[in-house]
Amino acid sequence: MIADKMEKALNSQINAELYSAYIYLSMAAYFESKDLPGMANWMTAQAQEEVAHAMKIYQHIVERGGRVSLAAIEGPPNEWASPTAVFEAAYKHEQHVTKLIHDLVALSIEEKDYPSKSMLDWFVDEQVEEEASASAIVAKLQMIGDNGPALLMLDRELGARQAGAEE
């Protein structure tokens, strides 16, 4: 049986993961409006991955005899100054999620909840990948600057991402 304190914290993380999906869908919509379908595809795949993360936590709570309690999801921003600004925001958001995961790991240790700690270790590793991926795209976009053809090449590259390919 999962302890109430851990259950509540994990339910909060489900909300954070679903909010992440909302942010990435909003970013995808922004890219669609700017005729950057590859970047939109990358963000859509990212949104799907975030829903999968929420479901991983959902299943953990259920398997431990806990109760999933879903809360309202805050509306995400929907406007950015540029493609670079979008990916900078995505990178900053992933850093925030990393902190949330680390806080959950600390709580699992404090509560001596080893099953949650084991599940959360996967998320610790996943966040390293999430941050590295967003950071690499930011670096490319900063190199590109105002070079339109280079932006279109990156858009094509990001369009190759398939949903679930990084799971």
Q: Report the percent of the chain where pLDDT is more than 70.
A: 98
In this predicted model, what pLDDT tens digit does every residue of 104-161 receive, in sequence order? 999 999 999 999 999 999 999 999 999 999 999 999 999 999 999 999 999 999 999 8
Q: What count of Cα atoms within 13 Å lies in the side-chain half-sphere of residue 158? A: 28
What 3-state DSSP class applies to 64? coil
Q: Is residue 113 included in any domain, yes or no?
A: yes
CB 138 within 8 A of CB 158: no
Q: Is residue 83 included in any domain, yes or no?
A: yes
Residue 164: predicted pLDDT: 65
Q: Is residue 165 included in any domain, yes or no?
A: no
Q: Is residue 167 included in any domain, yes or no?
A: no
> Can you give the pTM of this predicted structure?
0.94
Q: What count of Cα atoms within 13 Å lies in the side-chain half-sphere of residue 47? A: 17
**Which band of pLDDT confidence, cut at 50, 70 and 90, is reported for residue 167?**
very low
Q: Is residue 128 included in any domain, yes or no?
A: yes
In this predicted model, what pLDDT tens digit does every residue of 48-83 receive, in sequence order? 999 999 999 999 999 999 999 999 999 999 999 999
Q: Is residue 65 included in any domain, yes or no?
A: yes
Backbone region of residue 77 per phi and psi (left: phi > 0; alpha: psi in -120 to 50; beta: other values): beta
In this predicted model, what pLDDT tens digit does every residue of 80-104 receive, in sequence order? 999 999 999 999 999 999 999 999 9
Q: Domain total for the chain?
A: 1
Only one residue has tokens 């966040």, namely: 127
Go through the chain and tell me how many residues it has.
167
Q: Is residue 164 included in any domain, yes or no?
A: no
Mean pLDDT calculated for residue range 22-37: 98
Domain that holds residue 128: 4-158
List the CATH number of the domain containing 45.
1.20.1260.10
Q: Is residue 90 included in any domain, yes or no?
A: yes
pLDDT, mean over the chain: 96
**CA angle 54–93–75, rounded 5-degree value:** 70
